[in-house]
Chain A
């Protein structure tokens, strides 16, 4: 197991009477895209700001690259915050070169790398334009370049696909995938759950300042799966052993199981029936979107069957399946 790029443990932060973050812990490893999720005001941004030393935590510890954040480590971070922009009255190319030199890159190297990035993101022809003369989508791409130009080892992006059209969203996705493949640790905060499902290896869901879900996406979805089976095919799906209820939903059948019933028992029963053709048989997993809503709408905001990842420290997240989301 490599050393985590990011280690947050027990972070707490209070602003006056408001407890913005009360207990947040997670690790992020090189070569993964980590989803940091949560409703508005949950404490995601405060957590990121503590991680990046913008705010000092009241309690808890932040370690980046295996140690406390120092000036050298800051140069290894690429950060694209939610509230972001560029100097409106400056030209694009000198602005991006300036930002890269602040991250420790030489001016000449920055210019060479920048030309490649600008060409890739179709901004090369606009490099001498003032930022204020670029469209919002162009500005968004320019901010992505500013985040990545100095080749950071830790990339923190907050809503990275905002203002991007589908074509540029795909380009941005490709770029993030490339960065992951290159071994960079990526933390992505977004409300687009389908993007999280598609891209993230692991997630942490923060609600009311606490980590309420943490672990691998697949494991979390399995643990939140309702006790049901989705079957697609032809034939009679009623009267099966262990099945409580059968409902047709669009092109598939939803088979709700009795407590203690095993899906394998149902599968064997179906396979033994004449006139039944099965095209698809799977556990009814909820989408991440459903899990998100279920968890944050739960009274008290505590986690359901969170998949406490088997390898991660997770003090505050309940483990087990006795408290399932519904």
Chain B
């Protein structure tokens, strides 16, 4: 096994076996489980399956409407008094009264006991009423399917001119998915680069750096650590995604929007293209910080500021959602530290021009290359400077090739 892979394996298992990894991974899962549990309790516990009554003085319902797919049974009452008795007895959860002049006044009355019926219950009655009205109005129509279309209402699908993407009302979750996917991947990037920073400063603090440098090339040492620690983050991410998919499968029973969730190939391609250079960029910067700063505490202060540079598009998400093609959005897309996150925020809201994607990727790759070269230049000298910060003169000397 090559030295690079030996280092990667050591870092991976060393980190995965640590209690902090288990705690970190499981705590996120625990939070998801708690949120899901609370949601389920609210949805299931707050659900009232008792029938919904109605008094049809206007004679709109030609026949007793069947139960809605996801709603309560609708039960007709001859008059309001009987319905009131049923409500008082708890047989029904509420009842509507359609007055005789409904068609002219368009007003209905809703009677309920202590709790007002939920939106889903009221929506079920609205659908039934709309269906009856459509049936009554278009009973003689020869246009097949018009009745159904009238009941369903309008459904607008937006398509970009180049055909690369479309948005319809059912894909609101799809629109948010890139945002969430980008967030997850940048979290993985940030956390693994944070691990890398810890690992490098630990070499310095443990006084193992000098032996490692005489055994390994900087590429083997930093590259091996980067790969191993990225694998740690991806393992964590895979666990979270697997649990999230399970949660979606379960949640889809209660939230139909979740069941139709799909990830576009374009999004996957963009993530694959931008993820590695973004990681190389931040890993290089973290390596440089680890080399320059004397200990973990000081390194992490600087690293925290650096991480903010990657999250700027999330802080400005509202602005980017409102104007996903504005100058700010374009600038953030082209700036290397914000490119990946800006694209993930904009992806669900607009069609990002191809030139912007290409320019952004090239700038990111070039910046990542500079970052890695810069880190490699000062790495050796920085790692051997124990207990003190590498000063500007030493950095200049290292960059001039004199220190390494």
List the interface of chain A (C-beta within 8 A of B). Answer: 14-16, 49, 52-56, 58, 71, 74, 77, 79-81, 83-88, 90, 98-99, 101-103, 146
In the bound complex, what is the Cα–Cα distance between A226 and B166 (angstroms)? Answer: 97
Check B10 against A98 for contact (C-beta < 8 Å): yes
Q: Which residues of A contact B206 (CB under 8 A)?
A: 85-88
In the bound complex, what is the Cα–Cα distance between A49 and B396 (angstroms)? Answer: 20
Check B402 against A58 for contact (C-beta < 8 Å): yes
14 contacts between A and B (CB under 8 A): A16-B393, A16-B397, A52-B214, A55-B380, A83-B210, A84-B210, A87-B202, A87-B206, A98-B10, A99-B211, A101-B1, A101-B6, A102-B3, A103-B215
- Does any Cβ of A come within 8 Å of B25's Cβ? no
Contacting A102 at CB < 8 Å: which of B210, B216, B393, B404? B216
- 8 tightest A-B CB contacts, nearest first: A85-B207, A81-B210, A52-B214, A85-B206, A102-B215, A83-B207, A79-B214, A16-B397
Given contacts A53-B214, A103-B215, contact A84 B402 (CB under 8 A): no
Q: Which residues of A contact B381 (CB under 8 A)?
A: 55
- Does any Cβ of A come within 8 Å of B67's Cβ? no
Check B404 against A15 for contact (C-beta < 8 Å): no
**Closest beta carbon of chain A to B171's beta carbon, Å:** 48
- Does any Cβ of A come within 8 Å of B386's Cβ? yes
Nearest neighbor of B206 in chain A, beta-carbon distance:
A85
In the bound complex, what is the Cα–Cα distance between A221 and B208 (angstroms)? Answer: 37
In the bound complex, what is the Cα–Cα distance between A84 and B384 (angstroms)? Answer: 11
**Closest beta carbon of chain B to A254's beta carbon, Å:** 46
Q: Which residues of B contact A88 (CB under 8 A)?
A: 206
Check A85 against B214 for contact (C-beta < 8 Å): no
Check B397 against A55 for contact (C-beta < 8 Å): no
Contacting B402 at CB < 8 Å: which of A14, A77, A98? A14
Which chain B residues numbered 206 to 237 have a C-beta less than 8 Å away from chain A? 206-208, 210-217
Interface centre among B7, B401, B403 (most CB of A within 10 A): B403
Q: Which residues of A contact B393 (CB under 8 A)?
A: 16
Check B207 against A54 for contact (C-beta < 8 Å): no
In the bound complex, what is the Cα–Cα distance between A49 and B211 (angstroms)? Answer: 11
Given contacts A49-B384, A86-B208, contact A54 B397 (CB under 8 A): no
- Does any Cβ of A come within 8 Å of B24's Cβ? no
Give chain B's interface residue range (CB within 8 Å of chain A): 20 to 34
In the bound complex, what is the Cα–Cα distance between A15 and B393 (angstroms)? Answer: 9
- Does any Cβ of A come within 8 Å of B14's Cβ? yes
Check A15 against B208 for contact (C-beta < 8 Å): no
Q: Which residues of B contact A90 (CB under 8 A)?
A: 14
Check A55 against B403 for contact (C-beta < 8 Å): yes
Nearest neighbor of A85 in chain B, beta-carbon distance:
B207
Nearest neighbor of B208 in chain A, beta-carbon distance:
A85
In the bound complex, what is the Cα–Cα distance between A71 and B14 (angstroms)? Answer: 26
Check A54 against B402 for contact (C-beta < 8 Å): no
Given contacts A16-B393, A54-B380, A90-B14, contact A79 B202 (CB under 8 A): no
Q: Which residues of A contact B396 (CB under 8 A)?
A: 16
Q: B70-101: contact bitstring with A at CB < 8 Å (1 yes, 0 no)?
A: 00000000000000000000000000000000
11 further interface pairs, Cβ-Cβ under 8 Å (given A56-B401, A102-B6):
A53-B214, A54-B384, A55-B403, A71-B217, A74-B214, A79-B211, A81-B211, A83-B386, A84-B211, A102-B7, A103-B215
Which chain B residues numbered 263 to 319 have a C-beta less than 8 Å away from chain A? none
- Does any Cβ of A come within 8 Å of B394's Cβ? yes
Q: Which residues of A contact B202 (CB under 8 A)?
A: 87
Which chain B residues numbered 372 to 386 have a C-beta less than 8 Å away from chain A? 380-381, 384, 386
Q: Which residues of B contact A80 (CB under 8 A)?
A: 211
In the bound complex, what is the Cα–Cα distance between A98 and B216 (angstroms)? Answer: 13
Nearest neighbor of B10 in chain A, beta-carbon distance:
A98
**Closest beta carbon of chain B to A25's beta carbon, Å:** 21
Nearest neighbor of B202 in chain A, beta-carbon distance:
A87
